[in-house]
């Protein structure tokens, strides 16, 4: 199947008992057994639930994987990956990460003896330069949150696997979605999504996803998911599966509007800098053009007035762009990374990579572009 067809039919089958086109919501915790240990594939919903299975099969199809897993949140999915490690193991990660990921790395897993090394992944060689015998995982986020850096997944995979083929490569594909890039095809071992965002697409659920190809890795992930219990429930699984069916048409509009908004901001006299991989002067524009179908609906920018007061005035003035956490829904959102999504990162670390008080992040929705531009124009002139 082509991708647009996969969003609707990938990994899916009609429900056997009734022929229902959409998988029913199996709102049950347990299942009848004809004899101890003899059942129809389901024993207890922490281990598996038919609605969740349908969603996980869809995840796998979209990313060209063989096994998908639905978690209670994106951070629960990341937690599962880190639980495959042991004290003394090292993780190499990008220097621009979602604040919740950084918080989990530094405040949870460092105290269990996991070590973390942060590098600028704009250059693949930077990753190879810090690999040691302790390195067990490379964590890639691309495009990054919130500075829209682009990592060359294929190049990094080549460097890492050329050094040690046992090192796992995981990619947070939340900003791009499988509509724009598929990391497993580029050499990664694990794809992670905050399915709360574009996969769900309607700001009505919280969920995480992992997708892999390797059967042994899938077995390990399923065991951790079952043992730790951070599963997605059947109602959220149903909502996510419904959202996925329109992923391709939503992403097309997100990309179209994102491009218009980025160009508007680039030419506005009140704006100092725009972070958008679709611009030819973006440091890794050619990489983005090579590995992504389009450039997405996420845009970050700084005001010429590089102060928190100017940023707050803008943030308090938008009407269509809603000031809120999260991203990837049909509605446009605006956020302030230093006080919201990246508030858990110490200020010196934020400033080191360019996350200043005037940095503003937009999740450009699928509204009419003229209304979005009018809203931005109004807020910028307050």
- Report the distance separating Cα 380 and Cα 373, nearest Å: 10
Residue 266 catalytic? no
Residue 9 C-alpha from the chain's centroid:
22
- Report the distance separating Cα 227 and Cα 41, nearest Å: 18
Marked catalytic residue, from 172, 189, 294, 357: 172
> Do the Cβ atoms of 145 and 96 come closer than 8 Å?
yes
Q: Among positive and negative, which fits the CA dihedral 281, 283, 284, 286? A: positive
Quote the tokens at residue 57.
């099969």
DSSP labels, 142-211: SS-TTT-----HHHHHHHHHHH-TTSEEEEE-TTTHHHH--GGGGT-SEEEEETTTTTT-SS----EEEE
- Report the distance separating Cα 105 and Cα 115, nearest Å: 9
| Through-space distance between the first and last CA atoms of the chain, rounded to whole angstroms | 49
Residue with tokens 């809203």: 375
> Do the Cβ atoms of 261 and 299 come closer than 8 Å?
yes
Marked catalytic residue, from 6, 136, 149, 197: 197
pLDDT at 42: 95
DSSP 3-state helix, strand, coil percentages of the chain (rounded to 5)? 40, 15, 45
Residue 52 catalytic? no
**pTM (2 decimals)?**
0.96
Residue 95 catalytic? no
Residue with tokens 């604040």: 99
CA distances from 240 to 177, 192, 243 (A): 14, 15, 5
Burial bucket for residue 369 (CB in 10 Å: 0-12, 13-18, 19+): middle
Quote the tokens at residue 74.
């994106």
Tens-place pLDDT, residues 122-137: 999 999 999 999 999 9
**Which residues on neighbouring strands pair with residue 300, listed in sequence order?**
275, 361
The Cβ-side half-sphere exposure at 114, using a 13 Å CA radius, reads: 22
Quote the tokens at residue 70.
């639905």
Q: Within a 10 A sphere around the Cβ of 150, how many other Cβ atoms? A: 25
pLDDT at 348: 87
CA distances from 214 to 65, 152, 209, 211 (A): 9, 22, 16, 10
Quote the tokens at residue 219.
């077995």
pLDDT at 341: 81
Helix (H, G, I), strand (E, B) or coil at 134: coil
Bridge-based pairing of strands 333-335 and 322-323 is parallel
Burial bucket for residue 359 (CB in 10 Å: 0-12, 13-18, 19+): buried
Marked catalytic residue, from 31, 42, 46, 308: 46
> Do the Cβ atoms of 278 and 262 come closer than 8 Å?
yes
pLDDT at 17: 87
The residues of the chain scoring below 50 in pLDDT are none
Q: Domains in the chain, start-ordered, CATH in brackets?
A: 3-242 (3.40.640.10), 247-381 (3.90.1150.10)
All residues at 6 or more sequence positions from 221 whose CB lies less than 8 Å from its CB, including other chains = 67, 69, 80, 81, 84, 210, 212
- Report the distance separating Cα 345 and Cα 338, nearest Å: 8
What's phi and psi for 91, nearest 5 deg? -115, 130
Residue 172 catalytic? yes
The Cβ-side half-sphere exposure at 243, using a 13 Å CA radius, reads: 26
pLDDT at 343: 82
Marked catalytic residue, from 6, 57, 83, 98: 98
């Amino acid at each position: 199947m082509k991708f647009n067809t996969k969003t609707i039919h990938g990994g899916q089958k009609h429900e056997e008992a009734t022929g229902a086109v959409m998988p029913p919501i199996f709102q049950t915790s347990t299942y009848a057994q004809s004899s101890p240990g003899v059942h129809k594939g389901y024993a207890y919903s922490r281990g598996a639930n038919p609605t969740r299975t349908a969603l996980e099969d869809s995840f796998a199809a979209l990313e060209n994987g063989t096994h998908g897993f639905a978690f209670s949140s994106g951070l629960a999915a990341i937690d599962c990956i880190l639980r495959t490690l042991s004290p003394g193991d090292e993780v190499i990660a990008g220097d621009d990460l979602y604040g919740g990921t950084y918080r989990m790395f530094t405040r949870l897993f460092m105290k269990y003896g996991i070590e973390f090394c942060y590098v600028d992944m704009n250059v693949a060689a930077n990753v190879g330069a810090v690999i040691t015998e302790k390195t067990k995982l490379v964590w890639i986020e691309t495009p990054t949150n919130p500075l829209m850096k682009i990592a060359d997944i294929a190049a990094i995979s080549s460097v890492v696997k050329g050094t040690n083929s046992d090192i796992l490569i995981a990619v947070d594909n939340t900003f791009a979605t499988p509509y724009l890039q598929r990391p497993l095809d580029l050499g990664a071992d694990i794809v992670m999504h905050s399915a709360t965002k574009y996969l769900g697409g309607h700001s009505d659920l919280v969920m995480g996803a992992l997708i892999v190809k390797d059967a042994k890795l899938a077995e390990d992930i399923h065991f951790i998911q079952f043992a730790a219990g951070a599963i997605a429930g059947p109602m959220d699984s149903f909502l996510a599966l419904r959202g996925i069916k329109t992923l391709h048409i939503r992403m097309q509009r997100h990309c179209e509007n994102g491009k218009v908004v980025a160009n508007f901001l680039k030419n506005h006299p009140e704006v100092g800098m725009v972070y958008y991989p679709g611009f030819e002067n973006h440091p890794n524009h050619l990489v983005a053009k090579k590995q992504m179908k389009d450039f997405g609906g996420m845009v970050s920018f700084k005001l010429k007035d590089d102060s928190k007061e100017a940023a707050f005035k803008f943030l308090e003035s938008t009407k269509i762009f809603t000031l809120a956490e999260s991203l990837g829904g049909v509605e446009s959102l605006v956020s302030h990374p230093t006080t919201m999504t990246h508030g858990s990162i110490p200020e010196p670390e934020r400033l080191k990579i360019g996350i200043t008080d005037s940095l503003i992040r937009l999740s450009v929705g699928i509204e009419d572009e003229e209304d979005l531009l009018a809203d931005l124009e109004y807020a910028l002139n307050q």
